[in-house]
Amino acid sequence: MLPAFDNHIHIRESGGFLNSVRRFVRAGGTHLNLICSPLEGERDSGYFCRVYDHVLRVGRAIAEMGVPVIITAGPYPVDFVKAAEIVGIEKATTWYMDGVREAFRLYDEGRIHAIGEVGRPHFPVREDIWNACNEILREIFAMAAERGAPVVLHTESATVDTFREIADMARSVGLDPGRVVKHYSPPLVKRDENFGIIPSIMASRRGAREAARGDGRFFLETDFLDEPSRGDAVLPPESVPRRFRMLLQEGLMDEDDIWRINVELVQEVYGVELPF
């Protein structure tokens, strides 16, 4: 059995829930990174605790199925943007950073394995909001550096310059860029393209083939949303195991390559031991 790790998947109690996980497993998926999902309801002082409680419940249910699960929790950056537009940057920052500190508390207690998805909005915003997002991200990186915690990023469409900027930001506060994972990354898989940050690439056929041209320091992801109203967006949960089998069949990777990405790199980045 080949290992197949989906580095970025959302599973919701209100969605397909464990049936979505079963689809992943039936296709050959072996372990996954469960990313917390924004919830409906008021963005009040207890909002992020409700988000984290949900992802922890889902993670426990997946683990009880016998599927190894990494849990990533943190305040979604778009929530900060929306709050800043309503109550102003100062109040929004206070609210958002409370969510950041709660996520790090869970990390310190060993209840989650990474902080995310955090970062910057993927759409244009006012310059003052953009600058505030960068200041918050720098502070998150500093808090992660104190602990050696991995950080999963949500940002704008990334370029080589984006990777350089973020890697410099991480290093400036003592965080190894190898502990930073860029969700929804283009296939910038060479060190002179990503500057040590780990690209997490959509598990399309094209994305997987382009990723295979690098040095094997990448993840594949579906960003499956588990929202019935949106079908199998962004990609179906079966996609990652299917893409690794495709790479093997096409001779673009061998079994050792697949093992290094899906087991050794997962253990290196997230600091977990996998039962394989």
Q: To which H or E segment does residue 7 belong?
A: strand 5-9
CA dihedral 89, 90, 91, 94 (to 10 degrees): 110
Element (H, E) at 135: helix 127-147
Q: Say how far apart CA 182 and CA 251 lie, in whole Å.
A: 26
Contact predicate 97/55, CB 8 Å:
no
pLDDT digits (tens, 9 = 90+) for 124-177: 999 999 999 999 999 999 999 999 999 999 999 999 999 999 999 999 999 999
Measure Cα distances from 174 to 4, 167, 177, 198, 202 in Å: 31, 11, 9, 17, 29
Does the CA dihedral 208-211-217-218 come out positive or negative? negative
Helix, strand or coil for residue 32? strand
Closest CA to 28 of 270, 239, 211, 251: 239
For residue range 235-251, list pLDDT tens digits in order.
Answer: 999 999 999 999 999 99
Residue 233 has pLDDT above 90, yes or no: yes
Exposed/middle/buried for residue 123 (C-beta within 10 Å: 0-12, 13-18, 19+): exposed
pLDDT at 210: 97
| Whether the predicted pLDDT of 21 surpasses 80 | yes
pLDDT over 90 (residue 192): yes
51 preceded by cis ω (within 30°)?
A: no
3-state DSSP assignment of residue 187: coil
**5-270 domain in CATH 3.20.20.140?**
yes
Query: What's the mean per-residue pLDDT of the chain?
Result: 97
Residues whose CB falls within 8 Å of the CB of residue 216, separated by 6 or more in sequence, listed in order: 257, 260, 261, 265
CA distance 217 to 83: 36
What pLDDT is stored for residue 1 in this prediction? Answer: 77
Lookup result for tokens 């929790």 = 73
Q: From the CB of residue 86, how many other CB atoms can be counted at a distance below 10 Å?
A: 10
pLDDT digits (tens, 9 = 90+) for 74-114: 999 999 999 999 999 999 999 999 999 999 999 999 999 99
Q: How far apart are CA 9 and CA 32, in angstroms?
A: 7
Asked if the model's pLDDT at residue 24 lies above 90, the reply is: yes
Whole-number Å distance between alpha carbons of 73 and 115: 5
Q: Which sequence spans correspond to the domains of the chain? A: 5-270
Does the global pTM surpass 0.85?
Answer: yes
Contact 57, 39 (CB under 8 A): no
* Cβ–Cβ under 8 Å, residues 197 and 177: yes
- Mean pLDDT value of segment 184-203: 97
Q: Is pLDDT above 90 for 13?
A: yes
Q: Rounded CA gap, 148 and 142, in Å?
A: 10
